[in-house]
Amino acid sequence: MRARCCARLMAVALLLTTASCARDEPRPVVRGDPAPTTSTAIAPSAAPSTPPLPDPAPIHWQPCDQLECGSVEVPVDYGDPGGGTIRLAVARRPVPDPERRLGSLLVNPGGPGGSGIGFLESGSLADLTDRFDLVSWDPRGVGGSEPLECGAGHAGFLGLDPHPDTPDEQAILEREAARLAARCGAEDPGLLANIDTTVNAMDLEMIRRALGEEQLNYLGFSYGTLIGLEYARRFPSRLRALVLDGVVDPALTVEAMLTDQAEAMEQHLAEVSDLYDRVLARAETDPMVLADGRIVGPDMVVLAAIAATYRGDGRDELRRALLAADGGDPRRLAVLADAYLTASDSFGAYLAVVCTDSPRPSGIDGWRAMADRVAQRAPRLGAAAVNEVLACGFWPIEPTRQPAPVAPAGLAPALVIGTTGDAATPYGEAVVVAANLPGAVLLTFDADGHTAIGRSRCVAGAVRRYLERSELPEPGSVCG
């Protein structure tokens, strides 16, 4: 499920309902507030060794619509910097008043596979700060940065039943997953082996150098938090400010990550579980047909349920959609499912990161066993969570990164934001990450939906004070 594997519904403002809290200031925890998950911090550690990086040329900015655009040349393989390069597309929204400029704020919207340039074009962060140039980039394999072609046609794969209950359905799903993996291996072999989170963090350092900034100010959403954490692990002294919203725990294996996410998403189904089961059963045996001729099968019901968890009003919207479908009108379900598919444009890049970012089961039998284990913990959505990345079971590139906690010595205090009802990146992961980062403060947003910035004046105010004045909220602060 895309959310941190994650967070592939990357354009936060496009799927989330906007909301603002009545208070502009965070408040301390009081009786009845969500209790932080207990966590034991680990000892700070030195940065791992990093291969020498070449010095990129300064970015040559040119006007492009409402932004300024340029590129940064980076090695395809940081282990072999002379073995070929690619150009990363970058963009910025300059500060309105250059005399008040404090520097650049690098932003990544998540994914894997989210276009940072598209995110800047959406204007989602226009009101967050007017003191920094907002800068983002299309990660390698995405958009203007050597896009991977092998994810094209993914809608056919995602349109299969993600929770197969017959041998034939399972066989079809595995066959199409194998084809998708083989196509990626044949079409994009060089980039496919150099696209994990560690490489993305190296690219971020190259962008910092090309900008000519001594230190980085970074804001990451969802999977973008994992890039920020990996950057903090390797370049802690280069971070002036680090904001993480919708946090991914870098120590989780792919199975643990999918299990956490599936369990959290099923909690959103708790109040409508019988209705969901009834609509899903109908989609299996007597599917409805939309006006455009599309069949409302089990894939659409599952995708609608997942998409709803990203929204602040998702529980109510899913209930309305399921009630309408139960009465014979599937249009609301289709709108939710289509929103999820629309956010899947970079499916190849998404798989390329997920399949290599963590050790994975060996062979298709290992994947079937993992799907069974996750389904035992989350019977409605667990199998779908695993089967969405079933191509990893046939992936031609071995894993290149080992999950591990991040606790870098010498890191400036970070602002970590966790949303209590965030199923895509569950709140407990923000608690763990905040406990590990030296000096970090966890700001809790007590709401449903994925990520917090853009939905709360209270959160936005805390972020702005931190970015502009290095002022962190009091530990235990809550925005509601």
Can you list the alpha helix ranges (DSSP code H) found in 2-42?
12-15
**The one catalytic residue among 222, 344, 346, 358:** 222
Cβ atoms of 456 and 24 within 8 Å: the answer is no
CA atoms of 380 and 303, how far apart (whole Å): 12
69 forms beta bridges with 62, 91
**SS3 string of 252-294?**
CCHHHHHHHHHHHHHHCCHHHHHHHHHHHHHHHHCCEECCCCC
**The one catalytic residue among 133, 136, 450, 456:** 450
Cβ atoms of 104 and 132 within 8 Å: the answer is yes
Buried-exposed string 211-237: b where 16+ CB fall within 10 A, e elsewhere: bebeebbbbbbbbbbbbbbbbbbbbbe
CA atoms of 480 and 473, how far apart (whole Å): 14
* 20 is annotated as an active-site residue: no
CB atoms within 10 A of CB 286: 7
CA atoms of 474 and 465, how far apart (whole Å): 12
Q: What is the DSSP secondary structure assignment for residue 322, as one 8-state letter?
A: H
Q: Which residues contact 197 (CB under 8 A, 6 or more apart)?
A: 112, 226, 227, 230, 353, 357, 401
CA atoms of 203 and 234, how far apart (whole Å): 12
Cβ atoms of 130 and 100 within 8 Å: the answer is yes
* 422 is annotated as an active-site residue: yes
CA atoms of 112 and 6, how far apart (whole Å): 7
Can you list the alpha helix ranges (DSSP code H) found in 355-472?
363-377, 382-387, 427-436, 457-469
CA atoms of 104 and 131, how far apart (whole Å): 9
**The one catalytic residue among 422, 448, 456, 477:** 422
* 450 is annotated as an active-site residue: yes
Query: Would you please indicate which residues are annotated as catalytic (active-site) residues?
Result: 222, 422, 450
